[in-house]
Structure 1
Amino acid sequence: MDDKPRQPPRASRARSWLRVTGSVGPLGIGTAVLWLSLIVLLPLAALTVKSFENGWSGFWDAVTAPSALDSLKVTVLVSIVVTLINVVMGTLVAWVLVRDEFPGKGFVNALIDLPFALPTIVASIVLLALYGPESPIGIHLNATQPGLVVALAFVTLPFVVRSVQPVLIEVDREVEQAAASLGADNWTTFRTILLPTLGPAIISGAGLAFARAIGEYGSVVLIGGGIPKKTQMASQYIQQQIEVDRPVNAAAVSVALLVISFLTLLVLRIFADRTARREQESR
Structure 2
Amino acid sequence: MTADAGTAATAPRARRLPNPLPGFGISLGLGMAWLGAVVLLPLLALSVRAAGLGTEGWLRALRDERVQEALKLSFGAALVAALIALLVGGLIAWVLVRYRFPGRRLVDALVDLPFALPTAVAGIALTAIYSKNGWVGRVIEPMGLQIAYTSIGIVLALVFIGLPFAVRTVQPLLETLGREPEEAAASLGASRWTALRRVVFPELLPGLLTGFSLAFARGLGEYGSVIFIAGNLPYKTEIAPLLVTIRLEEYDYNGAIAIAALLLAASFACLLAINAIPLLFAHERKGGRRG
Give the structure-1-normalised TM-score. 0.87
- Structure 1 residue aligned with 2:171: 165
Q: Which amino acid aligns with 1:263?
A: A
Helix, strand or coil at the partner of 1:256? helix
Q: C-alpha displacement at 1:215, in angstroms?
A: 0.2
> Structure 2 residue aligned with 1:178, among 169, 172, 184?
184
Report the Cα distance in structure 2 between the residues aligned to 1:120 and 1:95, rounded to whole angstroms: 27
> Structure 1 residue aligned with 2:210, among 200, 204, 208?
204
- Number of residue pairs aligned between Structure 1 and Structure 2: 261
- Structure 2 residue aligned with 1:67: 66
- Structure 2 residue aligned with 1:193: 199
Q: C-alpha displacement at 1:229, in angstroms?
A: 2.3
Does residue 109 (structure 1) correspond to residue 108 (structure 2)? The answer is: yes
Does residue 263 (structure 1) correspond to residue 262 (structure 2)? The answer is: no
Q: C-alpha displacement at 1:258, in angstroms?
A: 0.3
Report the Cα distance in structure 2 between the residues aligned to 1:33 and 1:275, rounded to whole angstroms: 29
Q: 1:182 to 1:53 in 2, by over 3 A?
A: closer
Query: Where does the alignment leave 5 or more consecutive residues of structure 1 unmatched?
Result: 1-22
- Structure 2 residue aligned with 1:3: none
- Structure 1 residue aligned with 2:251: 245
Checking the alignment, whether the CA contact within 8 Å between 1:52 and 1:58 is kept in structure 2 is no
- In the TM superposition, what whole-angstrom CA distance separates every residue of 1:55-102 from its partner, at most 9, and x where no partner exists? 332133213322111111111111110111112111000000000111
Instruction: Map 1:211-222 onto structure 2 (within 5 A).
Output: 211-222=217-228
Q: Which amino acid aligns with 1:243?
A: E
Query: Where does the alignment leave 5 or more consecutive residues of structure 2 unmatched?
Result: 1-21, 141-145
Does residue 90 (structure 1) correspond to residue 96 (structure 2)? The answer is: no
Q: C-alpha displacement at 1:278, in angstroms?
A: 4.1
Does residue 226 (structure 1) correspond to residue 232 (structure 2)? The answer is: yes
- In the TM superposition, what whole-angstrom CA distance separates every residue of 1:162-201 from its partner, at most 9, and x where no partner exists? 0000000011422211212233222111100000000001
Q: C-alpha displacement at 1:228, in angstroms?
A: 2.1
- Structure 2 residue aligned with 1:41: 40
Q: C-alpha displacement at 1:265, in angstroms?
A: 1.3
Report the Cα distance in structure 1 between the residues aligned to 2:147 and 2:44, rounded to whole angstroms: 38
Larger Rg computed on CA atoms:
2
Helix, strand or coil at the partner of 2:230? coil
Helix, strand or coil at the partner of 2:227? coil
Report the Cα distance in structure 1 between the residues aligned to 2:215 and 2:193, rounded to whole angstroms: 26
Select between 258-267 and 270-279 the one with higher mean Cα deviation: 270-279
Checking the alignment, whether the CA contact within 8 Å between 1:53 and 1:248 is kept in structure 2 is no
Q: C-alpha displacement at 1:271, in angstroms?
A: 2.0
